[in-house]
Structure 1
C-alpha cells in the first residue's frame, strides 16, 4: 500500500496557520482599540477580510496554473517522444 506523501512538513503547516491566526488576531485587536467611528472600523475590517480571502484565492490560482502547466508539458513531451520514434 502506498503511503501519502505531503509536500510540507507538519511543523511548516503549523507555522503557516499559526502566523496566519496571529496576524488576524493582531488586525482584530488593532480595530478594537482604534479610536475611530464604527463606520471606519467596518471599512478597515472589510478591507482586511477582502485582502485575506483574495490572497487565498490568488495562491490557489497560481498553484493550479503551475500544476496545469507541468501536466501540459508532461503530456506533450510524451507525445513528442512517441512521434520521434
Structure 2
C-alpha cells in the first residue's frame, strides 16, 4: 500500500511540475512522454524480474523433487 501511495504522490508532483513549467507545450509533452515511458518500463522490469525469480524457484523445486525420487 505504501508503494502505491508513493507512486501516486510522485506522479502527482510530476504532473504539477509539468503544469507549472514555463516552457512551450511541445517541451512539456516531451517530458511527459519520457516520464510515462520510464514509469511503464519500470513496471515491465519489475514484472520480468519477479517472473524470472518465480521460474527459477519452480525449476529448482522440480530438480529437487527429481533428485529425491532417484
Q: Say yes or no: TM over 0.5.
A: yes
Residue of 56, 63, 66 corresponding to 1:69: 56
TM-score, scaled relative to structure 2? 0.96
TM-score, scaled relative to structure 1? 0.80
User: In structure 1, how many angstroms separate the alpha carbons of the residues matched to 2:57 and 2:8?
Assistant: 32
Q: Which structure dedicates a bigger proportion of its chain to helix?
A: 2
Q: For residue 51 of structure 1, report the CA deviation from its aligned partner.
A: 0.5
Residue by residue over 1:4-49, the C-alpha shift from the partner in whole angstroms, topping out at 9 and shown as x without a partner, is xxxxxxxxx2x11110000000000000011111000000000000
1:42: which partner in 2?
29
User: In structure 1, how many angstroms separate the alpha carbons of the residues matched to 2:27 and 2:39?
Assistant: 18
Q: For residue 80 of structure 1, report the CA deviation from its aligned partner.
A: 1.3
CA RMSD of aligned residues (A): 0.6
The alignment of Structure 1 onto Structure 2 pairs a total of residues equal to 70
